[in-house]
Amino acid sequence: MSKWHVQACTAAVALAITSCQESGVGFPPLLKAGAMASAVTVQHIEDFEDDSGSGAGGFADSVFIHTVSTTMVVDEASWTPVAPFPSPTHALFLPEISIDTVTFSLNSGEVVDHAGVWGNTFYGDAFVDFYGTQDELWFVLPSGQAGWQFVEAASTDVGIHGQPLGEIVAVALTGYEGMFDDLTIDLAAAVDLDIARFQVSKHFSLAHGQAAIKIKLVVKNNGTVDQPRDATVVGQQGGVQIYNQTMAVSDPPGGGRTAWVFPPFTPAVPEGIVWTATIADDDPDIDHESATTKVVP
């Protein structure tokens, strides 16, 4: 598909439901799900200063929810062996043994796909655990270092159980007199594509030698980012899978629809076909529809 065609389709989508993919321009190139990096939209940093601008220590940002109190925030002026802190003038000191499990108060549709934090082990040990929806990653910072050490994790990193972390939902800071500063999270907006309509040829006659069964998926973007995700159509005839096609689908945000035509199918036996379409997006909503074709001799 040429670039010109892509642009022409996009322009049509903005106006109304488009059928550009049906008009002979062919299929857009298929993309692998793993190649679709989410666009980073926002970064938040917990720098252990309050946001009043007074220079006082505290918890910085209403996005971060802590399980320890602000009494563990310390001033750089009194901690010269480990000064300067990664960000002046305060950091978190966790006396033996305390854990600050930090979670995030985010807007709907926002997910954390990367997090990092500075740690210091001059006074005692420090550990960082990144919790994802699927797995976790645990870092033990080398002991007794006067210099600050940075650890980080991405949602695609493989965790201790061999799975990608998934969306990062918490960072646990554990101190045996360890210190921490500048806990940073990068947010990516979640892709939410919905099935507006799933349409197949209702009737197929083997005897009439008619054209193959047409399969069309109309996609609506219910989110704010324009990125493709995989849609899969499966056909079953008499309990046997006779069709399984996956293609990347998308729809620009903002109220339009985009129709995607899947490769057609010609059945060989006179038995009804049950079709299912599924979109694997980032939103926990169920994006799954069924349709049937009656196949007669």
In terms of Cα–Cα distance, which of 169, 190, 180 is closest to 64? 169
Question: What span, in angstroms and rounded, lies between the C-alpha atoms of 259 and 220?
Answer: 9
74 vs 137 by CB, closer to Ca ion: 74
Tokens for 201?
Answer: 């040829």
Q: Which of residues 139-158 bind Ca ion (CB under 5 A)?
A: none
Tell me which stretch binds Ca ion (CB under 5 A): 4-12, 60-68, 82-90, 201-209. 82-90
Question: What span, in angstroms and rounded, lies between the C-alpha atoms of 205 and 133?
Answer: 48
Among 285, 292, 294, 296, binds Ca ion (CB under 5 A): 285
Contact by Cβ (8 Å): 95, 126? no
Q: Is the dihedral of CA 5, 6, 7, 12 positive or negative?
A: positive
Site pattern 20..49 for Ca ion (x: CB under 5 A): ---------------------------xx-
125 vs 281 by CB, closer to Ca ion: 281
Question: What span, in angstroms and rounded, lies between the C-alpha atoms of 166 and 154?
Answer: 8
165 vs 231 by CB, closer to Ca ion: 231
Question: What span, in angstroms and rounded, lies between the C-alpha atoms of 243 and 211?
Answer: 17
Number of residues that bind Ca ion (CB under 5 A): 12
Question: What span, in angstroms and rounded, lies between the C-alpha atoms of 239 and 281?
Answer: 27
Minimum distance of Ca ion from residue 287's CB (angstroms): 4
Q: How many CB atoms lie within 10 A of CB 81?
A: 8
Among 87, 163, 232, 246, binds Ca ion (CB under 5 A): 87
Site pattern 253..282 for Ca ion (x: CB under 5 A): ----------------------------x-
87 vs 134 by CB, closer to Ca ion: 87
7 vs 51 by CB, closer to Ca ion: 51
- Residue with CB nearest Ca ion? 87
Tell me which stretch binds Ca ion (CB under 5 A): 61-69, 88-96, 103-111, 244-252. 88-96
Q: Is 287 in the site for Ca ion (CB under 5 A)?
A: yes
Residues 6+ apart with CB under 8 A from 81: 122, 146
Question: What span, in angstroms and rounded, lies between the C-alpha atoms of 143 and 193?
Answer: 47
Residues 6+ apart with CB under 8 A from 257: 13, 17, 18, 196, 218, 219, 220, 251
Q: Which of residues 165-204 bind Ca ion (CB under 5 A)?
A: 181, 192, 194
Q: Is 70 in the site for Ca ion (CB under 5 A)?
A: no
Half-sphere exposure in the Cβ direction for 46 (13 Å, CA) = 26
153 vs 191 by CB, closer to Ca ion: 191
76 vs 129 by CB, closer to Ca ion: 76
Footprint of Ca ion on this chain (CB under 5 A)? 47-48, 85, 87, 90, 181, 192, 194, 281, 283, 285, 287
